[in-house]
Amino acid sequence: MTNNMPSWLESKAPLLFRDLLVPDNIIETIEKASLQSNPPHLLISGPTGSGKTAIWRLIARQVLGPAHRSTTHVLNAKDLARTSGAMAKFETFLRPEGSSSNDTLAGRTSLDAYDPSLMIVKGDNGPPAGFESSKDSQNIPISRIIVIEDADSLGNIRQSYLRRMMEKSSNSARFIFTTTTPSRLIEALRSRTQHIRIPKAKRQDIEKILTNISSEESLAPAKGILGDIAHVANGNIRKAIFLLEALKHRNMLQDRKNLQDVIASSAHREIQLMLEEAMRGRVHDWKWEKQGNKNTRVLKGAMGVLDQIMDKQSLEAEDIVKHLHKLLTEGRLHLMDKDLSKLIISLAKCEVAIQKTSQPRIELEKFMMNVAEISNQ
Going from N- to C-terminal start, the domains of the chain cover 8-197, 203-256, 263-375
Determine the pLDDT at residue 219: 94
Separation CA 326–CA 280 (nearest Å)? 20
Strands 294-300 and 285-291: antiparallel
Counting residues of the chain whose pLDDT is more than 90, the rounded percentage is 46
Determine the pLDDT at residue 45: 97
- Does the domain made of 203-256 have the CATH classification 1.10.8? yes
Residue 133 banded pLDDT, cuts 50, 70, 90: confident
Determine the pLDDT at residue 83: 67
Separation CA 293–CA 61 (nearest Å)? 29
Question: Are 8-197 and 203-256 equal in CATH topology?
Answer: no
**Residues 163 and 191 sit within 8 Å (Cβ to Cβ):** no
Mean of the pLDDT values across residues 187-195? 94
**Residues 209 and 142 sit within 8 Å (Cβ to Cβ):** no
| 310 pLDDT more than 60 | yes
pTM: 0.77
Mean of the pLDDT values across residues 261-265? 74
Topology annotation, domain 8-197: Rossmann fold (3.40.50)
Per-residue pLDDT of 57-107, as tens digits, reads: 999 999 998 889 889 999 988 877 666 678 888 888 988 887 777 788 888
Determine the pLDDT at residue 105: 85
**Residues 1 and 245 sit within 8 Å (Cβ to Cβ):** yes
Which residues have CB under 8 Å from 77's CB, separation 6+?
A: 148, 149, 150, 151, 152, 153, 154, 158
Which of 3.30.1490.20, 3.10.129.10, 1.20.272.10, 3.20.20.140 is the CATH number of 263-375? Answer: 1.20.272.10
| 51 pLDDT more than 70 | yes
Determine the pLDDT at residue 13: 93
Query: Is 79 or 259 the better-scoring residue by pLDDT?
Result: 259
Determine the pLDDT at residue 61: 94
| 343 pLDDT more than 60 | yes
